């Protein structure tokens, strides 16, 4: 992809988050809920535990509002928070003060960040925002210390895209529950009630002027059926760079919108929709 196109995509993301960053945590019930936070905490604790000598130094690539950074700080890690969005970076500075260093990225590579420095590079829900999400792996390898770990998380796996898979079934089951919910106010069951919701009108007007708003409101790039993060390509490049993939874990993400018992039922059946991967740069 030409560099100019990549820069335009990054600029679009920055523009989108200039507005969306304030509502980011409210708009992501699939991240900011106790179950997902607990899972993330466990994964990060495991990664931190794999670092040979402490205290570890981490790069939080695409820090957002500081989801991963907050967890890493609690685990005693020194964090550099990096992002393309100046809005998120000022939010992170307000939130953590001098507790973290912040770095503004160009969104294409990690120029300005030193070679062989970080014990951990974490990218949670970020790869799909990066125009060349395979090329960035070369840069991650460059800034990793020998023996350091890259932690990639919260990107959908192949199961997510299957038309006849368990994820589609789960979505249907969630929708059915909403329709069946008791009580007089149920716009899922009585569609006419939707005309009484002011935000629906605001959304309809917004979509008229900005048709991409619904799905592209945060400048997502690789989140479409025809263009999504392909884990097989990620693995291939990591192998090519000489990194050893240590963990691949598929999981069913929990969203605060799901009835918990339904989510548990599908998770226990082995249904998954997301992946986390940890790979190590060899020590020598």
Ligand X SMILES: C[S@@+](CC[C@H](N)C(=O)[O-])C[C@H]1O[C@@H](n2cnc3c(N)ncnc32)[C@H](O)[C@@H]1O
Residue 24 Cα distances to 7, 8, 91, 232, 253, angstroms: 23, 22, 11, 29, 18
Q: Which of residues 49-78 bind ligand X (CB under 6 A)?
A: 61-64, 67-68
CB of 31 to ligand X, least distance (A): 6
Question: Is 105 a residue that touches ligand X (CB under 6 A)?
Answer: yes
Does 130 participate in binding ligand X (rule CB under 6 A)? yes
The minimum distance between CB 169 and ligand X, in angstroms, equals 26
Q: How many CA atoms lie within 13 A of 93 on its CB side?
A: 12
Answer for which of 36, 43, 83, 141 binds ligand X (CB under 6 A) is 83
CB of 93 to ligand X, least distance (A): 14
Q: Map 33-102 to HEC letters.
A: CHHHHHHHHHHHHHHHHHCCCCCCEEEEECCCCCHHHHHHHHCCCEEEEEECCHHHHHHHHHHHHHHCEE
Residue with tokens 């192949």: 158
- Per the CB < 8 A criterion, the answer to whether 120 and 255 are in contact is no
Question: Which position among 13, 71, 80, 102 is part of the footprint of ligand X (CB under 6 A)?
Answer: 13
Q: Contacts with ligand X: how many residues (CB under 6 A)?
A: 21
Are residues 252 and 160 in contact, defined by beta-carbon separation less than 8 angstroms? no
For residue 214, the minimal CB distance to ligand X (Å) is 16
Site for ligand X (CB under 6 A): which residue of 96, 124, 231, 254? 124
Interaction of residue 31 with ligand X, rule CB under 6 A: yes
Which CB sits closer to ligand X, 81 or 252? 81
């Amino acid at each position: 992809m030409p560099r100019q196109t990549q820069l335009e995509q990054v600029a679009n993301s920055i523009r989108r988050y200039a507005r969306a960053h304030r509502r980011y945590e409210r708009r992501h019930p699939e991240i900011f809920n106790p179950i997902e936070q607990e899972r993330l905490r466990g994964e990060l604790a495991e990664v931190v535990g794999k670092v040979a000598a402490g205290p570890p130094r981490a790069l939080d690539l695409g820090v957002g509002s500081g989801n991963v950074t907050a967890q890493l700080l609690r685990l005693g890690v020194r964090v550099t928070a990096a992002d393309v969005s100046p809005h998120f970076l000022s939010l992170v500075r307000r939130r953590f003060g001098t507790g973290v260093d912040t770095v503004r990225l160009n969104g294409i590579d990690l120029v300005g960040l030193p070679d062989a420095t970080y014990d951990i590079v974490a990218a949670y829900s970020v790869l799909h925002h990066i125009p060349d999400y395979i090329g960035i792996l070369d840069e991650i390898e460059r800034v990793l210390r020998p023996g350091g770990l890259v932690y990639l998380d919260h990107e959908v796996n192949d199961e997510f895209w299957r038309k006849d898979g368990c994820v589609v079934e789960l979505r249907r089951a969630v929708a059915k529950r909403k329709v069946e919910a008791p009580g007089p106010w149920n716009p899922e069951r009585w569609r006419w009630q939707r005309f009484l919701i002011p935000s629906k009108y605001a959304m309809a007007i917004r979509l008229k002027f900005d048709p991409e708003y619904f799905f592209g409101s945060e400048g997502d790039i690789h989140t479409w059926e025809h263009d999504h993060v392909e884990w097989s390509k990620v693995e291939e490049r990591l192998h090519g760079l000489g990194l050893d993939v240590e963990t691949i874990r598929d999981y069913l993400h929990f969203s605060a919108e799901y009835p918990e018992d339904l989510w548990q039922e599908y998770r226990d059946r082995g249904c998954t929709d997301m992946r986390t991967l940890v790979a190590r740069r060899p020590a020598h």
